[in-house]
Amino acid sequence: MSIAEQPCYTLINTSQDLEPPTEMQLREDLEKGNDKAKAEALRKLIVMMLNGEKFPSLLMIIIRYVMPSQNHTIKKLLLIFWEIVPKHTGDGKLLQEMILVCDAYRKDLQHPNEFIRGSTLRFLCKLKEPELLEPLMPSIRACIEYRHAYVRRNAVLAIFTIYKNFDFLIPDAPELIGKFLDVEQDMSCRRNAFMMLIHVDQERALNYLSNVIDQVNSFGDILQLVIVELIYKVCHSNPSERARFIRCIYNLLNSSSQAVRYEAAGTLITLSSAPTAVRAASACYIDLIIKESDNNVKLIVLDRLIALKDIAAHERILQELVMDILRVLASPDIEVRKKTLQLSYDLVTSKTINEMVLVLKKEVSKTHNEQDSEDVEKYKQLLVRTLHQCTMKFPDVANTIIPVLIEFLADKNELAALDVLVFIRDVMQKLSNLKDLIVQRLLDICGQIKSVKVLRATLWLLGEYCSSIEDIQNVMTFIRQSLGDLPIVDDEIRRSAGETKDEQDISMSAPVQRLVTADGTYATQSAFMSTNAMDKKTLNGPANDRNRQPSLRTFLLDGDFFIGAALSTSLCKLVIRYMNLENDSIKQNRFCAEAMFIIASILHLGRTSLSSKPMNEDDYDRMLMCVRLLNERLPITFQIFGHDCRTALAEMLTIKAQEQKEIEKKLSKEKAATVEPDDPIRFTQLLSSNEFDEKEDILDLTLKQAIGTIGKKDENIFSSSILSKVTQLTGFSDPVYAEAYVNVNQYDIVLDVLIVNQTSDTLQNLTLELATLGDLKLVEKPPSITMAPHDFTNIKANIKVTSTENGIIFGNIVYDITGSQSDRNCVVLNDIHIDIMDYIVTGICTDNEFRQMWIEFEWENKIVVNTTIRDLHLYLTYLLKSTNMRCLTPEKALSGDCGFMAANLYAKSIFGEDVLANVSIEKSAIHADAPVTGHIRIRAKSQGMALSMGDKINMTQKTGFKGVSLTQK
């Protein structure tokens, strides 16, 4: 067995700057040094051995000179030394010397020092050699009756592991421990003994438990925990016993230890699916979440509740408890709040929605008072989203929610406000009865909006949804007010020239101007606000309202002409609606002219140097188009602006809703147990004893998963056949032929190298020398071997992988030929390339996360598309398949054929690294046969990842097109 396959209990990493001592030095110290020197040498030796070196010659030195020492430190170090030292010779036989060691341990087991006895017993738990354990058995048995609890409890553990591994050594162990348990008083000893019985003799454990079941509540928490474990296990293997223990578990729900309560709640649910039991368990969980201050606990217990919700029968019970769950919102951690909101949203029903909305509204008003921090902002956003979702689910509550939410628009916090706007848009579209109310509210609030993005969206909403003359006129008034005197340019020039009659005007507008021109960022905006506030204080009168810098104009002077473009579109829409409602053509024209005048003023401003940034061409075009539209008044453009826009929006929203529904449906489908036509039907009456057979014990299952004994299932046995991963390392005519099967596990690569001696000589000292390039590390060197003529053998080598990068393994085979005088012979091996695709798995992330990461990641690799594929979709699918990436852009957005395509791709490595890609490809419209062109940009946090992913794509482009063009035919 190689080191990599043996169980490993200890890891110590050397610090690099330490000079490793030579074997001679170590030998000197171990043989002649005093206790301190010996301990130090032993320490160094252990560290070196843990890092892969071998010192078989020092074994005897240690037995002769170090073992007899009575020094406690040395004794402890020796225990670790014997734990890691190889105990077998190369051919698998036990080393002779170990018998001597064994005798020393027999003495230590009778040592008067209880701690030495105890730690020796603990070491024996890790010993896997029955030959060594056998002579120790009587001493171990004696230790179980020793005075000190420390010795007893370790003795129980030793007996447990020995019995588990080699039950012939101590066949009566369960009986022995059973008796021990009856008389033992110490809590730790009892726990260990009980734990052993659970694993080896459940019957006995059950009997014991039945005897003491009344006292369980008085036991210590560690004992209670294993009792819960026993009940879980027993009920799993033998469900008919369940009835006996429900009462006991229920009692433990009220244990003084929170850990026991948690465990008991989990077990109670598996014991019984009766509503009372589930309710008790869930109540216990909720109580734990509220009472424990630790966020870790809160999150994990919430996960348990979420898992509980996914079981259809239990969901109903949790629905009753939704108000209790909402109490968790008192916790300040954003993650906890997020999970809680999501869970309670999933659980809310028409019965509880009103109460829930009340609670959420209260939370919203609380956030207004809280200090602004990043988390509070995010929390507000979460609350808005949840309320939004609630309204979509239960439209009745909308009119109570809207007033609360509209308040957010005046907030400085853009995150929440933007979400509110999205919410309002949804409501407007779906619940047209609330339109008037919302428009009214928006008109009330729009004067106080401070953020340009919010104002822009609000203007759009007003433009789109105002439907009465009065409203339209109100909007117009608001726009006029917030733009100030028209035309803007003249007004501004007048102001800066100081031609105003009012002196105060000069004093006020001059600093404003300067501030704006100094820098064009938002800082100036706040400067405006403060000037305004100052003005309010000093001037203090309604007469000066007009002179204050109106908000829209501020934005325009800052150079944000996008809002001008949005305003123009909204004005057009308003004009169109006004014309439909108002029959008087004079009024129609006046209104239209006013709108055109506003747009024209903005256009003019954009062409002067008054604003801090010039207007860009897009905004200019857009505004010009609006002017033209109002000027020409063609019915077709009116139709587009007045009607088709809204239809397009409606369509987009329905598609979104559909997608949402599909996802939900998928989830619920996964939830619903699929019964195949040929599944056996189970009758509970007939199946009482083995009902749980198919469910595996979750405790054992997770343990197996964690230590990695459960292998990955091969999804497609043919495509990932072993043969396809065999790499030829040398030529067929080389004296030594070698080929390797590269087996990639999660964190390591196993090379299984087949070596064939093709000569008729015996090859001595044949060594496979390997070296690596990239983030790979050879765990241990393969040993040298001797090969008979025409013999073949297999050598295994383990290589550790720590990150996703293209790795190369290279090396050679060296050997001597018997009897020949020549130097060593050498055969150079072909390189083995490790494919990073083995480490890339498809991941999922939201659009927002993608954008966030796109901004943050430092490394970008731009690859030019170079392919013979002629179809955009085909290219994308090919790319996705060959890189394991997932396309984040929804199917709908990619459908259709317009000659170009843009999509976002995402994947993750098993080491947790993200890799993003953006594909923008096009196809020449003129030549139908032209291949796809464009480029792919890859972004990742680390350079290696971006580079190797790029290499991979280049490779697939080079090698892959043949296969694809074939399929195309």
- Yes or no: say if 479 and 575 are a contact pair by the CB < 8 Å rule: no
Q: How far apart are CA 153 and CA 187, in angstroms?
A: 9
Question: Among 301, 402, 409, 945, which residue sits at the site for another protein (rule: CB under 8 A)?
Answer: 301
Q: How far apart are CA 606 and CA 817, in angstroms?
A: 88
Q: Contacts with another protein in 79-118 (CB under 8 A)?
A: 80, 111-116, 118
Q: Does 435 bind another protein (CB under 8 A)?
A: no
Choice between 87 and 577, CB closer to another protein: 87
Question: Among 59, 133, 177, 226, which residue sits at the site for another protein (rule: CB under 8 A)?
Answer: 226
Q: Does 774 bind another protein (CB under 8 A)?
A: no
Q: Contacts with another protein in 347-406 (CB under 8 A)?
A: none
* Listed ranges 239-247, 286-294, 410-418, 758-766: which one lies at the site for another protein (CB under 8 A): 286-294
Minimum CB separation of residue 102 from another protein in Å reads 21
* Listed ranges 278-286, 331-339, 524-532, 612-620: which one lies at the site for another protein (CB under 8 A): 331-339
Q: How far apart are CA 253 and CA 288, in angstroms?
A: 11
Terminal CA-CA length for the chain: 52
Q: Does 47 bind another protein (CB under 8 A)?
A: yes
In order, the DSSP letters of 866-920 are ------HHHHHHHHHHHHT-EE-S-HHHH-S--SEEEEEEEEEETTS-EEEEEEE
* Listed ranges 287-295, 417-425, 643-651, 874-882: which one lies at the site for another protein (CB under 8 A): 287-295
Please give the DSSP secondary-structure letter assigned to residue 643.
I
Contacts 24+ apart (CB under 8 A), 685-689: 688/239, 688/240, 689/238, 689/239, 689/240
Choice between 292 and 871, CB closer to another protein: 292
* Listed ranges 189-197, 269-277, 461-469, 720-728: which one lies at the site for another protein (CB under 8 A): 189-197
Q: Does 14 bind another protein (CB under 8 A)?
A: yes
Minimum CB separation of residue 705 from another protein in Å reads 4
> CA nearest 91: which of 783, 763, 767?
783
Minimum CB separation of residue 8 from another protein in Å reads 4
Choice between 4 and 311, CB closer to another protein: 4
Q: Does 192 bind another protein (CB under 8 A)?
A: yes
* Listed ranges 330-338, 410-418, 427-435, 597-605: which one lies at the site for another protein (CB under 8 A): 330-338
> CA nearest 234: which of 210, 251, 255, 260?
210
Q: How far apart are CA 484 and CA 481, in angstroms?
A: 5
Choice between 120 and 918, CB closer to another protein: 120
Q: Does 51 bind another protein (CB under 8 A)?
A: no
Q: Does 426 bind another protein (CB under 8 A)?
A: no
> CA nearest 913: which of 935, 891, 877, 939?
939
Minimum CB separation of residue 220 from another protein in Å reads 6
Choice between 296 and 660, CB closer to another protein: 296
Q: Does 294 bind another protein (CB under 8 A)?
A: yes
Please give the DSSP secondary-structure letter assigned to residue 65.
I
Angle at Cα 745 formed by Cα 9 and Cα 876, nearest 5°? 145
Q: Does 187 bind another protein (CB under 8 A)?
A: yes
Q: What type of residue sits at position 580?
A: N
Choice between 332 and 899, CB closer to another protein: 332
* Listed ranges 145-153, 236-244, 607-615, 886-894: which one lies at the site for another protein (CB under 8 A): 145-153
Angle at Cα 733 formed by Cα 728 and Cα 738, nearest 5°? 30
Size of the site for another protein (CB under 8 A): 87
Token pair for 394? 């239960």
* Listed ranges 41-49, 279-287, 726-734, 863-871: which one lies at the site for another protein (CB under 8 A): 41-49
* Listed ranges 6-14, 312-320, 515-523, 899-907: which one lies at the site for another protein (CB under 8 A): 6-14
Choice between 167 and 470, CB closer to another protein: 167
Which position has the token pair 């369980």?
216
Instruction: Spell out the residues 6+ positions from residue 270 whose beta carbon is closer than 8 angstroms to its own.
Output: 232, 235, 236
Q: Contacts with another protein in 864-923 (CB under 8 A)?
A: 910-913
Choice between 151 and 488, CB closer to another protein: 151
Choice between 46 and 736, CB closer to another protein: 46
Minimum CB separation of residue 709 from another protein in Å reads 9
Q: Does 334 bind another protein (CB under 8 A)?
A: yes
Q: For the window 687-706, what string marks contact with another protein as x by the rule CB under 8 A?
A: -----------xx-xxx-xx
- Yes or no: say if 739 and 729 are a contact pair by the CB < 8 Å rule: yes
- Yes or no: say if 477 and 588 are a contact pair by the CB < 8 Å rule: no
Q: What type of residue sits at position 517?
A: T
Choice between 365 and 746, CB closer to another protein: 746
Q: How far apart are CA 443 and CA 530, in angstroms?
A: 24
Minimum CB separation of residue 800 from another protein in Å reads 6
Q: Does 137 bind another protein (CB under 8 A)?
A: no
How far is residue 950 from each of residues 530, 732, 860, 874, 947, measured CA to CA in Å?
Answer: 51, 34, 10, 20, 5
Choice between 260 and 409, CB closer to another protein: 260
> CA nearest 751: which of 735, 739, 764, 734?
739
Token pair for 2? 């190689």
Minimum CB separation of residue 88 from another protein in Å reads 17
Minimum CB separation of residue 845 from another protein in Å reads 13
Choice between 161 and 637, CB closer to another protein: 161
Contacts 24+ apart (CB under 8 A), 346-351: 346/309, 347/309, 347/315, 347/318, 347/319, 347/321, 347/322, 348/319, 348/322, 348/390, 348/393, 348/394, 349/319, 349/322, 350/394
Length of the chain: 969
Q: Does 157 bind another protein (CB under 8 A)?
A: yes
Q: Does 13 bind another protein (CB under 8 A)?
A: yes
Q: Contacts with another protein in 802-831 (CB under 8 A)?
A: 802
In order, the DSSP letters of 376-419 are HHHHHHHHHHHHHHHHHH-GGGHHHHHHHHHGGGGSS-HHHHHH
Q: How far apart are CA 443 and CA 438, in angstroms?
A: 8
Q: Does 10 bind another protein (CB under 8 A)?
A: yes
Q: Contacts with another protein in 704-763 (CB under 8 A)?
A: 705-708, 745-748
Minimum CB separation of residue 222 from another protein in Å reads 5
